[in-house]
Structure 1
Amino acid sequence: MSSSPYETYETYQPYGGATPPYEPQPPSHGSYEPYEPDPYVAQDTYRPAYTYEQEQARAQAAAPTEPRLPRQAPAPDGGRAAARRAARRKKSDHRPEALRRLLPQALVVAFLAGGTSAFVANDKAIQLTVDGKERTLHTFADDVSELLADEGVDVGEHDLVAPAGQTALASGDEVAVRYGRPVQLTLDGQRREVWTTAGTVEGALKQLGVRAEGAYLSASRSKRIARHGLDLDVRTERSVTIMADGRRRTIRTNAASVREAVDEAGISLHGQDTTSVPQDSFPRDGQTITVMRVTGSKEVREEPIPYATERTEDDSLFQGTEVVARAGEPGMKRVTYALRTVNGVKQKPRRVRTEIVREPRTQLVKVGTKAMPTSVAGADSLNWSGLAACESGGRPSATDATGTYGGLYQFDTQTWQSLGGSGRPQDASASEQTYRAKKLYVRRGASPWPHCGPRLHG
């Protein structure tokens, strides 16, 4: 027994020897039991800051102002053994809470482990070659198009991608990109634009199917083709036959013109010599070219220039009558001709120059519009058609052998004009000639026609 008015007892120690820190005991009438850690169970030491502070505040609010000694609180029924059983039940109740707190941490660890596995599974090692430059890279791209987009490789319609853009990728795959290059190709004189993914002239020729054996190339076969392209002139080897001076020569050539091919055949052109096709044209395979030896000279000739005739109406002349008011005169021109002989054969002269020596003078002609009278008193009833048939065969334009007499009734010019006629009688109309013949009969009777005059009364 102690001399103190209060009894003292040893505090309960869990198995293991360490004395836990003192915790205030709640009043006996409360349901709260102090937490005692189980030395055999690993404890979760994680406490969120706000949760721990809230629990401390609740504990202080529930604690009595003056802490009691263990003895002051009435022991539960059963004594110390019962208290130990209650403490074990309390520990069992706290174990699910500890597991609940450990579960999120375990899930995080599992998620990280799974994510790492997926990361490793999706990563692919790919060998990418862009225009001959190789590099190995790691990518998460699913197909070729996605890989090229991730790497900033732009491709156009003339570029080559192998394998195709929608091809799925796997680790270890190889992807190649060849950029297209424009080539301004002049092939045997024909110019066109083509595209190639080859990096050199030789590769481009093979890709385009151009036969380059023995051909002329404006650039070396090993020349690199830049991205902006290249101008390339290709002349393939052709067989050309040249005929000259009675001989036939067949050569193999990649000449750019007919003249070059003729020179390669050892044939010279002199003076006016030429070829059967233009000398600057492109020689085709299998073509035959004829060399023409040309000799030539010039010849000057004087030639007349016909005059024009201008007609005007004159109401003082009878209809059908034309009178030359001014006779026309032909002009004169001097013409220079080129005379050629090709391979010994004369060609048609070719006019090369014309010079006017004298201009022609226009002929002026008056055309009668006056109505012609047909009646002459005392002569209308005679047989004028019979007289005309006898004198001229009934031809108004007839003339005798000497050219002195003309017309239906064989007037001489002096008699004709004395009767009012103009010009020559044979140029007048038949009606005018008959009219003037009637007038002549009234004056002189049938004497102007001594041989045929009797026909007037027959």
Structure 2
Amino acid sequence: MTSAPENTEPRPTTAETRAVRTHRSRRRRALIAGATAGTLVLGVGSAVAVSQAHKTVTLDVDGETRTVGTFAGDVDGLLAAEGITVGDRDLVAPAADSPLSSDAEVVVRTGKEVDVAIDGRESTAWVTAADAHEALNLLAQRGEDVALVASRSEDRADLPLQVHDGDQVAVVHDETVDVADGSDELDAVLADVEVEVDEDDTVTLSTAADAGVRADDLPEGTDVPQVAVVVQRVEVEQVTKVKEIDFETKTKKSSQRFEDLDPKVRTKGEPGSRTVVREITTIDGKTVSDEKVTSLVTAEPVTEVLVQGTKERPEPEPEPEPATSSGSSSGSSSGVAASTGSYSGSNREIGQQMAAARGWTGGEWTCLESLWTKESGWSHTAANPSSGAYGIPQSLPGSKMATAGADWQTNPATQIAWGLDYIAGRYGSPCGAWGHSQANNWY
């Protein structure tokens, strides 16, 4: 601060002498006004005296305005006297080296770095504005769609500016528009309308027009504010899904299995699984991002292995002459003439005798007994109404058994003889036929 000349009176310092100082200022202004022509020829010393005269000026610092009495000769001297340090990004008007006259207005705007979104692209910018409304006006020339982006700290939305000093603002949230006093910091404005935000939500400030605020959205008689605070609810969720992986099938050849048999399942195929985690982001309930986070095979599929026979089946033995029997049911006990001899007893006993004649005893007989018990219960009149299968071996159709004898419908020995030939020709043995029946429910 510049000191007063030696021939001036001491500088007033108390409220009590402020009236005297005002009076002196008026007197000096009258003297200066009365000597207008003379001011053109004033010497340097006279100019210094005028610059150090007491003045009353208006000082506006970031929107806070006050009246200041000062002896400073220029703007820089005023700021120094008031303890205001100006940085490179701050704004001072008039310029710091401008002469200071009484009733002048000095404006100081502190430069503040803000996050902005201009036409959909986010960046940072330095603004010298008192509030968000003024900042939006300054940034409007940079693009058509301009918004200030509040920084986030847990559940707090922060902006280094007041929202709109002295005016109301619209708060757009959760499909609702509220009106609040903008003469405060952003988090206080949100609290005023009881709007809470979490760490994922976004808070931006734009003009009410850009935010789509209309008079219909507001209480009747309420003017549409110039600034809108827009709260968007952001949800980020990870969704896990398990997808099935189909198994492959491979077929192997085997010379130990007859070629006319259906492939045998050696290893049962099992599907695998893949676990996919996706991150889905929604804004106000609408999906804006759906990204795959991980995709891992959590269970490998098991390849199914089939065995296909390549062994040729031998030619069937000549069919035996049909036997005769006076028995008519599985419980009958009478003599039956077969191609290789006579058999007697129940149908099951006749079957055991005829199987033994082929060498099928022990385990082979057990397989045969199980097979035809399952098929017909050893009844030579058993008929399947849906398929047409008939007799002890359940020939399909039953008339096939005519090759063993014309009495195929009534003679159990004839049916058994045909059935044994069929098993020998197709499966080789009763156990081969029984195994196929267990796997496929038919033979």
Which range, TM-score by smaller chain? under 0.3
TM-score (normalised: structure 1): 0.26
Richer in strand (by share): 2
Instruction: Return the index of the structure with the highest Cα Rg.
Output: 1
TM-score (normalised: structure 2): 0.27
